[in-house]
Amino acid sequence: MDKKKQCSFYILSLMILLWSNNANAQGPPIFTDTPIMLGLDGGGIRTFGNFISKENAKVYIHPIIVPYNITSKWQMGVIAPFVNKVPEGAESRFGFGDLKLYAKFQIHQKDGKGKTFRTLIKVTESFPTGNTKGNPPLGSRAYQTAIGLVSGYITTKYGIYGEIAYNVTSNGLADNLLYNLAFGYPLLPQKYPPKQLNLFLELNGNYVFDGIGNNLHLSPGIQYIAGRKLLFESGIQLPLDEPSTEGQQTNYSLRIGIRILIF
Amino acid sequence: MRSIISNLMIICICALGAHAQAQDYNSELKGIIKVEVDGLSCPFCAYGLEKKLKKIEGVKKIEIDVENAFTLLTLLDGKTISETTIRKKVKEAGFTVRKIEEITDEGK
């Protein structure tokens, strides 16, 4: 199936679901951030495995994300990734990647019965802690600061999420603009404590300046909320647009993850 | 002079109204309390609300209905809590109170 057909297939499937199903409530998107900082998005540890299949390499990234809510409107967190790179015809490398710290501050909240619209400012600082002495490097060799907005309109029937961030880089790397859009839809009738099965369709983009180009992925995903404190999720990113040179294109990126509420 | 007096009367009426509203929030509630909560749109985030409300002294049981956007607090016999306390806890949990009312078992 070519990329246009893939895209049409997922959008059509989503429209059929919207038309045929009348279930309620969904969880946070898999690749896009959420403006909700409560429950599993407030005091939970999140971890997932990202398997990236490229034409010339296999990459496995496993971050551990620990958020902490200082207030209901202010969250800080840390992202610690482990990276394994297996290039074709070369030795594989494994180690700690670039550490990230982030802060989220909610600037807008409009609540209604069974719905909420929230927006927050998010600042992420990336530190060049990944080992860059060997080849391929496990880090970026650069400090990076991403400043952006995360917004979402979440109702008991569906959720629409958007995220945009400008990433300022150092050490000669090109700046980039990250943009994500997600739509979430539940399949099971809702109840509390939750047992939910959610579907997501996301568009994840990264425009790299200095004439490098645009990366755009279509990302369908599925999520199972097993209770108050546990969530399983999986999604696949399929490239729609990628400026990489021939032989280095991404085939797909698969994510399998879990979120556990601890605080 | 007349306009000054009428202005003062309007201010007094407004102040009394505000005071009456504040008094309403301080009213002590008992039995089963229904709290209508705005912004309650996802079951996975309702846990924070449950956790905050559980911390209120005298609360025996909490039931959350996400679909109909309310929570029921059942208090221990002889215990009361103020509306202000409930409003504070709901706000701390990241939600907005629409309405709080004391209900009977039949009204549940």
Domain boundaries, chain A: 3-261
Class of domain A3-261: mainly beta
CA–chain centroid gap for B45, Å, is: 19
Nearest beta carbon to residue B67 from set A24, A154, A193: A24
Query: In this structure, what token pair is assigned to residue B16?
Result: 């009394």
The answer to whether residue A220 neighbours chain B at the CB level (below 8 Å) is no
Residue-averaged pLDDT of chain A: 89
| Class of residue A32 by CB neighbours under 10 A (exposed 0-12, middle 13-18, buried 19+) | buried
Q: Tell me which H or E stretch contains B50.
A: helix B46-54
Query: In this structure, what token pair is assigned to residue A240?
Result: 């729609």
Q: Do A190 and B43 touch (CB under 8 A)?
A: yes
Q: What is the pLDDT of residues B30-86, one digit of tens each?
A: 899 999 999 998 877 788 899 899 999 999 999 999 889 999 999 999 999 999 999
Q: How far is residue A178's CA from residue A205's CA, in Å, rounded to a whole number? A: 6
Closest residue on chain A to B45 (Cα): A39
Please say if the pLDDT value at position A6 is more than 90: no
A11 pLDDT tier (thresholds 50, 70, 90) = low
Q: Do A41 and B45 touch (CB under 8 A)?
A: yes
The answer to whether residues A6 and A218 touch, using CB atoms and an 8 Å cutoff, is: yes
Question: A48-52: which pairs have CB atoms within 8 A and are 24 or more residues apart?
Answer: A48/A233, A48/A255, A48/A256, A48/A257, A48/A258, A49/A255, A49/A256, A49/A257, A50/A253, A50/A254, A50/A255, A51/A253, A51/A254, A51/A255, A52/A250, A52/A252, A52/A253
Which residues from B are below 8 Å from A when comparing CB atoms? Answer: 36, 38-50, 64-67, 69, 91-96, 98
Å from B86 to nearest chain A CA?
A: 16
pLDDT (0 to 100) of residue A21: 44
CATH 3.30.70.100 matches B28-103: yes
Report the C-alpha dihedral over residues A69, A71, A72, A77, rounded to 10 degrees: -20
Arithmetic mean of pLDDT, A135-143: 94
The ipTM is 0.79
The answer to whether residues B49 and B37 touch, using CB atoms and an 8 Å cutoff, is: yes
The answer to whether residue A19 neighbours chain B at the CB level (below 8 Å) is no
The answer to whether residues A238 and A6 touch, using CB atoms and an 8 Å cutoff, is: yes
Q: What are phi and psi of A157, to 5 degrees?
A: -110, -25
Query: In this structure, what token pair is assigned to residue B71?
Result: 């929570």
Arithmetic mean of pLDDT, A114-142: 95
> Can you give the residue ranges of every domain in chain B?
28-103
> Residues near A63 by Cβ (< 8 Å), separated by ≥ 6?
A47, A48, A50, A79, A80, A81, A82, A97
Å from B29 to nearest chain A CA?
A: 23
Q: What is the pLDDT of residues B92-101, one digit of tens each?
A: 999 999 999 9
pLDDT (0 to 100) of residue A49: 96
DSSP three-state, residue B17: helix
pLDDT (0 to 100) of residue B9: 62
The answer to whether residue A25 neighbours chain B at the CB level (below 8 Å) is yes
pLDDT (0 to 100) of residue A97: 97
